[in-house]
Amino acid sequence: MSGGDIAVRPATPEDLAAIMRFIRDLAAYERLTQDCVATEAQIGAALFGTPPRVHALIAQVEDQPVGLALWFHTFSTFTGRSSMYLEDLFVDPAFRGRGVARRLFVALGRRAVAEGCERLEWAVLDWNETALRFYRSLGAKPLDEWTLQRLTGPALAALAAG
């Protein structure tokens, strides 16, 4: 690769340390460090177990990993097709504004189309204006009529207990 070129490739087990760094850096950026409790073993099993539960792409400049896109498949009974849900997108701050995120999104879009996916979806924090502007530049539309719901911790345990 010539200097400054951005390459996007599937993650490998050798990328686990970089993936964990990206996940922790994303948690810090989103002010959610206290919620970031995943271990390298857990992420490795999810990415590289049989079957894999999530998938990841690494963006790199020369041999340096500089970005991560981590996703999984969902399914729509309305369309009868799968979709890709982007769980994490992170670019090292030193490499932002250089097209790394766009390259990751192009790779995701190509993969989604090749796999016959109906949608590519993700969540973004409402205060993250930089990300919101970037997503609008890609043509993404907010789903204002939908709200994300979550059960976790004691509420999830109570539900499971019946």
Backbone angles phi, psi at 75, to 5 degrees: -140, 140
pTM as predicted: 0.91
Q: Look at residue 97 in the predicted model and tell me its pLDDT.
A: 93
pLDDT at res. 147: 87
Residues whose CB falls within 8 Å of the CB of residue 109, separated by 6 or more in sequence, listed in order: 120
pLDDT at 148: 87
The residues annotated with a catalytic role in the active site are 135
Mean pLDDT, each 10-residue run in order, the chain (162 residues) = 75 98 97 96 98 98 96 96 97 96 97 96 93 94 89 92 94
Question: Which CATH architecture fits 6-161?
Answer: 3-Layer(aba) Sandwich (3.40)
Domain boundaries, the chain: 6-161
pLDDT of residue 4: 60
